[in-house]
Amino acid sequence: MGEVPFDFQRYFDTRIGHIGRHRCGFDGKFQAHVYPAEARFGDFQANGVLPYAKSTGRNPRQLAQILLDAMLREKDFSGEIATAEIAGAGFINLKLSPSTIDRWLRHYNSAEKLQSSLDTQWRGRTTVVDYSCPNSAKQMHVGHLRSLVIGDALQRILCFCGANVIRDNHLGDWGTQFGILLRQLRAESIDLDTVPQEDALELLEELYRRGNAAVNESKDALEEARAELVALQEGDGERMRLWRKINDLSYASFQEIYNLTAVQFDHILGESFYRDSVGRVYEELQECHIAVENLGALVVFHPEHERFREQPFIVRKSDGASNYASTDLATVLYRMEHFSASDIIYVTDARQRDHFEQLILTVDKWFRAKNYPMPRLHHVYFGTVCGTDGKAIKTRAGGSVRLKQLFAEAIARARVAVEEKNPDFDEELREKIARAVGVGAIKYGDLSQNRSSDYIFSLDKMLALEGNTAPYLQYAVARIHAIFRKRTEENFSLSDGQSIAPQTQEEHALARQLLRFPLAIRQTIEELRPHLLCNYLYDLAGTFSTFYNANRIFCENSSDTQRRIIFCERTLLILKLGLRLLGIETLERM
Ligand code: ARG
């Protein structure tokens, strides 16, 4: 017997499509369209006969019969299936044979085996994930949450899929905020060096607010701020020194959040890193006739695009300063030349869709003209985190909610719950649990939402032990660990030759869900949407719960016990792995 297929959805889809096209005389258009089936129909369902019959004007049930007969004639293939039946207008329902399930569960018993069998288009691709990227001179706030957690989950999943991932924090450390800040420091004659470190960021945020108001009110102030930025960008010594200081202060506060959330980067190449490479961008874009001078600025129009035919992509401002577009263009060039990036994934809010659409169009023309290797650019955008009023979440005073406070509150609430439930746990353990639950709840609460939509932020919901939440899944993990603590020598290991094919209905349902793991990962990474993995894990935990409530693990019949322990082990393996891929910590007790 050969190796058991890993990814049954893909395996059936490919094999049945092939059988249709090569054994049944179906033409090249035929696709099997295999999907997981509802339990009452079987394990998988092939839906492709219907549309094919329609397009060729033939009888779908007849075609389904031809296909089914051919499938059953393929010895190796039919061995995987227990039953295959035609249903409805021409669907084919498949049930896996017990021995196939047995072999799958036996073979895929470690994260390494799951990983090495996974086959996605990402294997071997050098992929830059551009995420977090806060602007400096501010503390991180709730607006920075989604890029952080979605970006981190995606980079973890991409690594798991075999991509060569480069995690790059493209800080906003070169933008207009510095012009405003430098001007305001001067206007208020503030010497930043005399401000105690712990107050500095608060002060800078205040200064920025006042400075921003000033430039909105007065043309002179606006001109001064612009001049400050130009002077900084030209490398003026004192301004550079202040700029460095502001960045260091900012990064120290970002790092606290990264430590708390276990987020790491391979590179921190902010906008300023590209300050000397924008010149080449201007030159090449002009030389290739992609950018033109327009009212003193350098801009790119895209005549083939409905809006960007008139809405310019400004790559150099009329005062000569570089901007977000210039540095992003230089960044693509750098990532192509220094990282040989085949893919770049940008994780930002949906308001930047125009920017990235224009960036992608511009890079496409530019790299084509210069004959540069063309990376694929993906804009993974997300919606807004809202308060209960449905508008972007704000503090009572109308300010932005700091991430530090948000996490602290979640941890504090989790802490109260742990203390109530487990008063006997020692201090260190309680703290560890509170942190894993509090941080995990916020991360998962975000990840479990379809990223392109807005969502309403509710710590109560995120921290609930019921529903699609991190605590629910973390609890499922802890519960399986608790089962294992009851395990004895006798029921510890599988005796030779014993089958682990599911016997009860609940075991079968659990096995089906476990076998769908490869599909869940594939769907998640094809769409770059972590909520698909969340949904899968939530279903898995629910299926496990039903199994656990209906099937006693430690029972008289030792082969039942041993088999059920394997079911627990595989569930634990996939739950833990799945949560790890989302950046959520798991616990043995909680
Ligand atoms: N700093 C930007 C912001 O706060 C995000 C940067 C995203 N990355 C990029 N290469 N443009 O919105």
* Residue 172 Cβ contacting ligand 1 at under 6 Å: yes
Q: For residues 72 and 59, is the Cβ–Cβ distance under 8 A?
A: no
Q: Are residues 167 and 180 in the same domain?
A: no
SS (H, E, C) 38-107: CCCCCCEEECCHHHHHHHHCCCHHHHHHHHHHHHHHCHHHHHCEEEEEEECCCEEEEEECHHHHHHHHHH
Q: How far is the CA of 492 from the centre of ligand 1 (A)?
A: 52
Task: Give tens-digit pLDDT for 136-162.
Answer: 999 999 999 999 999 999 999 999 999
Structure tokens at 346: 């940008």
Q: For residues 349 and 296, is the Cβ–Cβ distance under 8 A?
A: no
Task: Give tens-digit pLDDT for 179-221.
Answer: 999 999 999 999 999 999 888 999 999 999 999 999 999 999 9
- Residue 303, domain member (yes or no): yes
* Residue 346 Cβ contacting ligand 1 at under 6 Å: yes
End-to-end CA distance of the chain: 43
Q: Are residues 444 and 493 in the same domain?
A: yes
Angle between helices 197-217 and 219-233 (to 10 degrees): 130
- Residue 120, domain member (yes or no): no
CA distance 140 to 22: 58
Q: How far is the CA of 245 from the centre of ligand 1 (A)?
A: 21
* Residue 250 Cβ contacting ligand 1 at under 6 Å: no
Q: Which atom of ligand 1 is nearest to the CA of 171?
A: 1
As a whole number, mean pLDDT of residues 164-174 equals 96
Q: What's the confidence (pLDDT) of residue 572?
A: 98
* Residue 130 Cβ contacting ligand 1 at under 6 Å: yes
The amino acid present at 331, given as its one-letter code, is: T
Q: What's the confidence (pLDDT) of residue 286?
A: 98
The residue whose CB lies within 8 Å of the most ligand 1 atoms, and thus the one to mutate among 132, 154, 170, is 170
* Residue 348 Cβ contacting ligand 1 at under 6 Å: yes
* Residue 343 Cβ contacting ligand 1 at under 6 Å: no
* Residue 224 Cβ contacting ligand 1 at under 6 Å: no
Q: What's the confidence (pLDDT) of residue 50?
A: 97
Structure tokens at 505: 């209905």
The amino acid present at 260, given as its one-letter code, is: L
Which carries the bigger pLDDT value, residue 12 or residue 175? 12
CA distance 74 to 345: 42
Q: Are residues 280 and 378 in the same domain?
A: yes
* Residue 144 Cβ contacting ligand 1 at under 6 Å: no
As a whole number, mean pLDDT of residues 395-409 equals 91
Find, among 517, 532, 522, the residue nearest to 572 by Cα: 517
As a whole number, mean pLDDT of residues 357-382 equals 98
In total, how many domains does the chain have?
A: 4
Find, among 272, 260, 323, 230, the residue nearest to 133 by Cα: 272
Distance of CA 563 to the CA centre of its chain: 34
**In which element (H, E) is residue 380 found?**
strand 376-382
Q: What's the confidence (pLDDT) of residue 444?
A: 98
Query: In degrees rounded to 5, what are phi and psi of residue 223?
Result: -60, -45
* Residue 329 Cβ contacting ligand 1 at under 6 Å: no
Q: Are residues 155 and 36 in the same domain?
A: no
The residue whose CB lies within 8 Å of the most ligand 1 atoms, and thus the one to mutate among 128, 129, 133, is 133
* Residue 366 Cβ contacting ligand 1 at under 6 Å: no
Task: Give tens-digit pLDDT for 25-68.
Answer: 999 999 999 999 998 999 999 999 999 999 999 999 999 999 99
The amino acid present at 383, given as its one-letter code, is: G
Tally the C-alpha atoms within 13 A of residue 255's C-alpha that lie toward its C-beta.
7
Q: How far is the CA of 21 from the centre of ligand 1 (A)?
A: 48
Q: How far is the CA of 132 from the centre of ligand 1 (A)?
A: 8
As a whole number, mean pLDDT of residues 456-462 equals 97
* Residue 469 Cβ contacting ligand 1 at under 6 Å: no
pLDDT at 340 over 80: yes
Query: In degrees rounded to 5, what are phi and psi of residue 385?
Result: -85, 120
Q: How far is the CA of 407 from the centre of ligand 1 (A)?
A: 23
Q: Which atom of ligand 1 is nearest to the CA of 143?
A: 4
Q: Which atom of ligand 1 is nearest to the CA of 130?
A: 8
As a whole number, mean pLDDT of residues 447-472 equals 97
pTM given for the model: 0.96
| pLDDT band, very low/low/confident/very high, at 492 (cuts 50, 70, 90) | low
Q: What's the confidence (pLDDT) of residue 479?
A: 97
- The enclosing domain of 45 has a CATH number of 3.30.1360.70
Other Cβ atoms less than 10 A from the Cβ of 296: the count is: 10
Q: Are residues 73 and 138 in the same domain?
A: no
CA distance 107 to 104: 5
Q: Which atom of ligand 1 is nearest to the CA of 328?
A: 10
Q: How far is the CA of 529 from the centre of ligand 1 (A)?
A: 19
The residue nearest atom 4 of ligand 1, judged by CA position, is: 134
As a whole number, mean pLDDT of residues 363-368 equals 98
pLDDT at 551 over 80: yes
**In which element (H, E) is residue 543 found?**
helix 530-550
The residue nearest atom 5 of ligand 1, judged by CA position, is: 133
Q: Are residues 459 and 374 in the same domain?
A: no
pLDDT at 319 over 90: no
pLDDT at 84 over 80: yes
Q: How far is the CA of 171 from the centre of ligand 1 (A)?
A: 7
- Write down how long the chain is: 590
Domain boundary among 220, 248, 276: 248
- Residue 348, domain member (yes or no): yes
Find, among 127, 122, 121, 103, the residue nearest to 113 by Cα: 103
The amino acid present at 206, given as its one-letter code, is: E
Q: What's the confidence (pLDDT) of residue 266?
A: 98
pLDDT at 233 over 90: no
Q: Are residues 344 and 464 in the same domain?
A: no
As a whole number, mean pLDDT of residues 342-369 equals 98
- Residue 331, domain member (yes or no): yes
Domain boundary among 217, 248, 279: 248
Give the alpha-carbon dihedral of 308, 311, 313, 318, to 10 degrees: 160
Q: Are residues 196 and 332 in the same domain?
A: no
The residue nearest atom 1 of ligand 1, judged by CA position, is: 172
Q: Which atom of ligand 1 is nearest to the CA of 324?
A: 11
* Residue 328 Cβ contacting ligand 1 at under 6 Å: yes
Which carries the bigger pLDDT value, residue 298 or residue 557? 298
Domain boundary among 248, 279, 302: 248
pLDDT at 18 over 70: yes
Q: What's the confidence (pLDDT) of residue 198?
A: 86
CA distance 567 to 547: 9
Q: How far is the CA of 250 from the centre of ligand 1 (A)?
A: 16
Q: Are residues 498 and 550 in the same domain?
A: yes
Q: Give Cα separations from 482 to 61, 435, 479, 588 (angstroms).
A: 51, 20, 5, 8
pLDDT at 174 over 60: yes
Which carries the bigger pLDDT value, residue 584 or residue 493? 584
Q: How far is the CA of 316 from the centre of ligand 1 (A)?
A: 17
Q: For residues 168 and 266, is the Cβ–Cβ distance under 8 A?
A: yes
Q: Are residues 370 and 411 in the same domain?
A: no
- Residue 226, domain member (yes or no): yes
Q: How far is the CA of 352 from the centre of ligand 1 (A)?
A: 9
- The enclosing domain of 569 has a CATH number of 1.10.730.10
Q: What's the confidence (pLDDT) of residue 2?
A: 62
Q: For residues 148 and 261, is the Cβ–Cβ distance under 8 A?
A: yes
Mean pLDDT of the chain: 95
Domain that holds residue 369: 126-171+266-386
* Residue 170 Cβ contacting ligand 1 at under 6 Å: yes
Looking only at the bridges linking them, the beta strands covering 44-46 and 34-36 are antiparallel
Q: Are residues 568 and 481 in the same domain?
A: yes
Q: How far is the CA of 380 from the centre of ligand 1 (A)?
A: 12
pLDDT at 295 over 70: yes
pLDDT at 494 over 80: no
For residue 123, count CB atoms less than 10 angstroms from its CB and return exposed for 0-12, middle for 13-18, buried for 19 or more: exposed
- Residue 109, domain member (yes or no): no
- Residue 67, domain member (yes or no): yes
CA distance 32 to 15: 8
Q: Are residues 164 and 200 in the same domain?
A: no
